[in-house]
Amino acid sequence: MSAFADGSQPSTRGRLAAGVPGRGDGPGALLSLIRTMGGATRRDLMRATNLARATVDARLDMLASHGYVVHREVPRAKGRPPQMFEFNESGGYLLCIDMGSSHTRLGIADLGGRLVAHTSAELDLSMGPGVTLGKVGTLLRELVRAEGIDPRYVLGVGVGVPGPVELTGHMVRLPFDATALAPWTEMVISQEIRAFLPAIGVGDVPVEVDKDANNMALGEWRTSWPEVRDLVVLKVGMTLTCGIVANAETVRGTIGMAGDLEHIPDGTSDVMCRCGQRGCAEATASGRGIVRLLGPAAGSIHTSRELVALQNAGRQDVIQLMREAGRRLGVLIGTAISTLNPQLVVIGGNLAEANTLLLDEIRSVAMSRVHPLIASSTTIIGSKISDQAGLYGAAHLALRAVLDPASVDVGISNGRTLSVDRSPAHRRVLAR
C-alpha cells in the first residue's frame, strides 16, 4: 500500500467494507453468516467475524439498501433495543423445473426455498429438447403471470433431469437410453433454458442443472430433515432413482452417477434389464418391472398409483410382487446403509406413498443385513414431501448459486436490488 507524502496510509474503510467483487469476502459473506445464524444483531456479527463495527455497519448498510436483509427491533426490558438483521426471503423468486421421462413438474419458490406455486404437465422427453423446452417455457410464463410475479425479481432457475449430468452440463449418454435421450446429451441444457428466459421477462440469472435424484435428495434434506447431515433418498415409482447426501453435501460422483443402486445386477435372476444386465432392481422392483412381471394380467396399468390400488384391492399377484420388490430394495438399501452409515433413509415415490407393505418389507430386510450398531443409528422412513421433493431440491440448487457470497458481492456492485414488496401474492407460501 502506498503512503501519502506526510507518511500516513490511505484509508481502507471503504475497501474493507465492500470487499473485492467476485471474491466473496464482502457483504455476501456477511449475508451467508446471517442466514446460517437465522438472524443476528450487530454485536453477534462483530463477535463472529472479528470485524470492526464500522465495517460491519457498512456491509449491513449495503445489504439492507439492496434488499438482501431486513431488520427489526428485539424487545428488552431496559435500554435501546438492538436491531436483529434477517435475510429477506421474500426478496425474490426461483423457477423450479423437475423433468421426468414423461411427466414434468414446474414451480416457483421464494428465497427461503419454499414453494409459492406449482403445476405439472405430461411432457414426454422423447419429443426432443426443442418441443419439450418450448412447452416448459410457455408453462413457466403462464405460471409467473398467473401468480402476479414481477419477473425482474426471478433470481435463478433450478432444473432436475432424468439422468446423470456431467460437470460440463451435458447429460451422460447412456447406451440403453440412446434412442429417446440422445438429443438431450448433445446439448448444454442450462444454455437452452437460459435462451427462453427473456420471453418470460427474466434477465441473465444462474441456471443450475442436476440429476433428478440429486435434487430429490437435496429437497428432502433441506425441507424435511435439515438437522441431518447424512441421508439416502430412494424414489420408488415406475422407475427407481437414488440420491445421497453425505456430510451435508450432495454426492454426485465422477460422471454424476453416484447412487445408481437401481442397476446393481443380481446374478441369481434371469430377468433382463434394459441396461443389459440381469436382475437389476430397475427390472424387478420398479413399477415398470412389476408390470412386466405381471405379464398379460397387468392389463392397461400405466402408473404406480394404479398398482397400489390393485394391491389395496387384494390382488394376490400384485401383493406378492410388491413384497418381492420390497425385499430386493431392502437388499440394496442394506448395502447402502453399510457403505454410507446414514442417519436417515427416506423412501419416496408414488409406489411407496402410503404403502405400508412395501416400506415394512424394505425396512425389515435392510436392517437384517447391517451391523447391529449401524442398524441402531439408522432410521428408514417414508417421505414427507413425496412428489414435490424434486421441486424443493431444484429451488435449493438454484439458491446455492444465487446466494453464493461472491455472486452476492457482484450483484450488489452491479446494482441488483431485491424486492421489498409485502403484497399478499408476494408473501403467499404453499403449506407443506
Residues 275 and 157 reside in one and the same domain: no
Please check whether residue 297 lies inside any domain of the structure: yes
The answer to whether position 428 is within a domain reads: no
Is there a single domain that holds both residue 229 and residue 362? yes
Q: Which cell is 346 given?
A: 427416506
Q: What is the dihedral of CA 214, 220, 225, 230, to 10 degrees?
A: -20
Same domain, residue pair 100 and 209: yes
Same domain, 364 and 258: yes
Residue at grid coordinates 451391523: 371
Q: Is residue 219 one of the residues assigned to a domain?
A: no
Residue 171 — φ and ψ, nearest 5°? Answer: -70, 145
Answer whether residue 3 is part of any domain. Answer: no
Beta strands in 303-411 (DSSP E): 344-348, 379-382
Query: Do 276 and 349 share a domain, yes or no?
Result: yes
> What pLDDT does 77 receive?
63
71-79: Cβ within 8 A, 24+ apart: 74/41
Helix (H) or strand (E) holding 154: strand 154-161
Query: CA 323: distance to chain centroid?
Result: 30
Rounded to 10 degrees, the C-alpha dihedral 212/216/217/219 comes to 130
Output the tens digit of pLDDT for each of the chain's 432 residues: 333 333 433 333 444 455 555 455 799 999 999 999 999 999 999 999 999 999 999 999 999 999 999 998 877 767 678 899 999 999 999 999 999 877 899 999 999 999 999 999 988 888 889 999 999 999 999 999 999 999 999 999 999 998 888 877 778 766 555 556 778 888 899 999 999 999 999 999 999 999 998 999 999 999 999 999 999 999 999 889 999 999 999 999 888 889 999 999 998 999 999 888 999 999 999 999 999 999 999 999 988 989 999 999 999 999 999 999 999 999 999 999 999 999 999 999 889 988 999 999 999 999 999 999 999 999 999 998 878 999 999 999 999 999 999 999 999 999 999 987 544 443 444 433
And the C-alpha cell for 26?
464482502
pTM: 0.86
Residue 194: CA count within 13 A, CB half-sphere:
15
**What DSSP character marks residue 22?**
T
Q: What is the largest CA-CA distance in the chain?
A: 94
- Total domains present in the chain: 3
User: What residue ranges in 222-305 does DSSP mark as E strands?
Assistant: 231-236, 240-246, 249-250
Residues 375, 393 within the same domain: no
Range of the domain at 55: 14-87
Asked if residue 17 lies in contact with residue 58, where contact means CB atoms within 8 angstroms, the answer is yes
Residue 58 one-letter amino acid: A
Looking at the structure, tell me whether residues 131 and 199 fall in a common domain.
yes
Regarding whether 236 and 194 lie in a shared domain, the answer is no
> Under a CB-based contact definition with an 8 Å cutoff, are residues 107 and 94 in contact?
no
Cell numbers given for 3: 503512503
Tell me: do 186 and 114 sit in the same domain: yes
Q: Where are the beta strands (DSSP E) in 18-172?
A: 69-73, 83-87, 93-99, 104-110, 115-121, 154-161
Residue 312 lies inside a defined structural domain of this protein: yes
Q: How far apart are the first and last CA of the chain?
A: 54
H/E element holding 213? helix 212-224
Could you give the C-alpha distances from 356 to 238, 351, 352, in angstroms and in order? 18, 10, 8
Q: For residue 35, what is the domain's CATH number?
A: 1.10.10.10
CATH number at residue 266: 3.30.420.40
Residue 208 in 3-state DSSP? strand
d(CA 359, CA 357) in angstroms, rounded, equals 6
Tell whether 5 is covered by a domain: no
Same domain, 162 and 248: no
Query: Does 272 lie in the same domain as 359?
Result: yes
- Cα Rg of the chain (Å, integer): 25
Q: Note whether residue 243 is domain-resident.
A: yes
Report the length, in residues, of the chain: 432
Shared domain for 210 and 276, answered yes or no, is no
Residue 431 lies in a domain: no
- Of 242, 332, 233, 352, nearest to 287 (Cα)? 352
pLDDT at 11: 37
The last residue of one of the domains, among 64, 87, 110, is 87
